[in-house]
Each structure stands twice: as C-alpha cells, then as structure tokens.
Structure 1
C-alpha cells in the first residue's frame, strides 16, 4: 500500500480498533494460475503475545481455502470510514477533489481449521462479536444440524506477519481542516466517523 508519511499510523491500538469496528474484510491470495482470488468475509481479531491473529471461515465449495492450502500467504484488507472530499473546503479555487479513508492491510499466513471443535470455537467468537444473544440458540440446536453446518465450512486462522495502517484525512493541508471537519460532522455515517477521527488526531480545532 502506498504510504505517504503524513498518513501512516504505527499505533497497533488504532489498527486493532479499526479492524474491530469494521470487521468485514477482503481476503486476497492467489489461485492455481497465480491470479488474485478474493473472498469477502467477517474476521475476528485476537492479540496473542503482541501479534495479531484473524479468525474467519469460508464455505467449503469456495475454492479459496484450497488455494490457501497450496499457497498460504495473502492479504486481509479492512476498509474503515471513507468519503468524498470536495475542493470547496479550501479558501482558494485552485484545488481538486479527493477521497479520504482509513484502512488496515495485513499480510497473513493462513492455517486451516478443519475439526468440528475448532470451527465451533471460531463461530462462537464471531457470534460474540456480532450477536451475543444468538449464542444460546446456536448451542440449543440439534447436534446433527450443527454438525452439518460445521461440515459445510472451512475455518481460517490468519497469522498476521505484517500490517500497515493508513489514516488519510488531509493532514498535510491544515488550511482545509476546519471546513472539512465541519462538513463531515453534518454528513452521513462514514463522514461523521471521519470527523471524529479528525478530532482525535487534533485536526480542525478542539
């Protein structure tokens, strides 16, 4: 990922927050012909001994897990809030539009989880992330049904080898900050979240 220094964040707490707040990731690796193969999936983040580990699953008919079995390295991409940036935020007219966004890219090594116990534990972590109340219903389902559901997926444990976090909110153009933050604060959900990040980063006033 292109990383101008003004947009780079080396803070693992910020990267972890973005991955947890925006867990629907894009997993990219290569297929049998060496072409990128993509799966979109929610990922659960864990921190083990100071390292990130991502947990998820794909459907067994999805060939991605076979590609990862053969070539286990890939990229997991998390897109945080993003929004159009109008040139109207600047005090002068010789400006052009742009786009602001927050993202985390993780270089990963994949390990497949194929036992029912490992996949059940993985699903319970995803349930806890997204709908804790469903845990009781999952545990109360007939055993033959849950075994059938577990047999239909392949679990993925993605060891994060390297990560990069980019926070692009026009840090290098201080003359735009106040107007940009004001505009985003009155906008849609993504824009409001960008305005909050600008506040956290000290951009556009207190």
Structure 2
C-alpha cells in the first residue's frame, strides 16, 4: 500500500484487533508461474503478542504458493465502503472509498504434523467458542481416524511478518462536521449504510461531533 501519513496505522493493538475481527484473509505469492492468490481463515498466534499468524492451506495449495520457499503476502481487510460526495456539502468533491487494511509479509514456517493438528484444533475452537454448544475438532462424530485424515490433507504454517503495512482511510482529512455527516449516513438506512464502517470511523473520530 502507498504510505500516507494521514492514514497510516502503526498501533500494534489496533492492527491485532483488525486481524482478530477480520480473519478471512487473502494470501498472495509471486511464483515462477506468476502471481497466485488464495483465501483462508487465519488467526493470531495465541502464544505471541505480536502480529504472528497461524493458518493452514488445503493440499495442494502449498505447492501452488511454494509455501515456505518464498515471501508470502497476507492481506486482512477490515470494514470498507463507499463514501458519497453528496455527504460533503457544497463545493467540488469526488466520491471515495473508506477502508481499513493490514498487510503482513514474510517467509512462512511450515508446521510439523503435530503442530498442524494443534493449529487446526485451535482454529476450530477460536471460531466455535462463541456457540453455546461448540463443535470442536475432537467432538463426535469426529474420531481419531477422521481427524488424522483431515490433518494429512492440510499444511499448517506460522508467519512472523518481516514487513508490516497498515492503513485506515476513514476521512481523517475531513472537518469534524463532515465526519459526523458521513458517520450518520453510514449508521443510517440509506443505500450505502454500513454500521460496521460507521463504528470503525467512530474509533478514529470519537469526539468529532463535540
């Protein structure tokens, strides 16, 4: 992403929050056969307090990406949406798109079969923990044979990023009254309503209307 100091995000806690809340990521590799992109759910490594992520791919995607052999770019996209120039008031204006994004780049570490199994278990628990009766990896009707077959069909990896790029373009270049109008439109029921984006903007502009 192009660096712009107005929209740069360098707060580790906020970047971790965006990854945590938007786990379905795009992973991109530059291979000898050209660019390759895949989409997988990922999670922060629960044993780390940085931006290290854990995930797995289904075979043979690890060969498609050359996983572990070259740099991998992983993109987490947060809330995003259209911003109409009609919300800016008078004057010459153009539409734009507000968004949040975190890019993590590095060479991933391939997990052993045992580590991959723990990662699969952790990923299932990570998402099922919100259900009153979670269906965990080892929950019936799954049995050891089925789980072993599942593990063999996947390749787990851990990525500790060597490069991080994060951005939140949320109308930081607009005056407070315009920001309030945008938030109100996004929080409303119009054709471009987006409550999650409105909430994300409120994190950046907590006192815009005061």
Q: TM-score, normalised by structure 2?
A: 0.87
Superposed CA RMSD: 2.2
Contact 1:30 1:37 in 2 (8 A): yes
Any unmatched runs of 5+ in structure 1? none
The CA deviation string for residues 90-114 of structure 1, in whole angstroms up to 9 with x for no partner, is: 1214111110001101112211124
Which residue of 172, 190, 193 corresponds with 2:196?
193
Q: How is 1:107-118 mapped onto 2 (pairs within 5 angstroms)? A: 107-115=105-113, 117-118=114-115
State the 1:2 CA deviation: 0.9
Contact 1:31/1:64, CA 8 A, preserved across alignment = no
**More moved, 84-93 vs 138-147:** 138-147
Aligned residues: 203
Counterpart for residue 209 of structure 2 = 205
Worse overlay, 121-130 or 46-55: 46-55
Normalising by structure 1, what TM-score? 0.89
| Local SS of the residue matching 1:144 | helix
1:59 counterpart residue number: 58
* 1:130 maps to which of 127, 132, 150: 127
1:205 & 1:138 partners in 2: Cα distance? 50
CA contact (8 A) 2:56 2:156 kept: yes
Q: Distance in 1 between matches of 2:184 and 2:4?
A: 25
The structural deviation recorded for 1:8 is 0.6
> Does the Cα contact within 8 Å between 1:77 and 1:106 map onto a contact in 2?
yes
SS of the residue aligned with 2:110? strand
Higher strand share: 1
After superposing the two structures, state which structure 1 stretch, 17-26 or 184-193, moved more: 184-193
Q: Do 1:8 and 1:166's aligned partners in 2 also have CA atoms closer than 8 Å? A: yes
Alignment correspondent of 1:161: 162
